[in-house]
Amino acid sequence: MINSMNYLAVPFMKGGKENLNIIESWIIGFDLQMAIQIVLHIASILILFYFIAKLLFNPVRDILQKRKDSIAKEYQFIKTEKQKALALEKEYKDKLANIDKEATAILEDARRRALEKERQIIKEADDEAARLMQRANTEIEREKEKVKDDIKTEIIDVAKILASKFVASSIDQQTSDRLLDETIESIGEETWLS
């Protein structure tokens, strides 16, 4: 193996075979000290990573996780509020649609009640007119009966007067006609015309 390394070791060969052993152990294999240094370097790097992770990465990771959770909560809150807003919007749209229906129903009800009230007022007016006509007809009939009774009474009175005058005088036909004419004139034309 020394022969294959001769061309590499030539510049370092001032010291002879000793230098060749150093170069050969340095190029081909590790010595114990180098292995210890490598292990110590790896251990110190691992310890350094552990402390960096504990002191730097974990807090940063915790902060990032908290921020992520906060954003997720805000997103969920926004999503919930959006759903509530959409539900309210739908409810208001339904109410607006129902307002037209309710307004139409209210107007129809008001028209129906107005027509019913109109019919009732007309019926009451007709009933009142019929009562007034009935009362007037009754009053007219009563007045007719009263006039008839008055005329009968007048006729009876006239007949009594005629009879008494007829009896009081001997009456001939001319006297009778004359007495009748006088009696009629005394009663008056108004009684006979009514």
User: Domain locations in the chain?
Assistant: 31-193
Q: Which residues contact 165 (CB under 8 A, 6 or more apart)?
A: 171, 179, 183
Q: pTM for the complete prediction?
A: 0.34
126 vs 128: CA distance, rounded Å: 5
In the chain (194 residues long), the average pLDDT of successive 10-residue segments reads: 44 52 57 88 94 84 91 94 93 85 88 92 91 91 88 80 68 73 71 55
53 vs 62: CA distance, rounded Å: 11
Q: Sign of torsion, CA 139 144 145 146?
A: positive
Cα 122 → chain centroid? 37
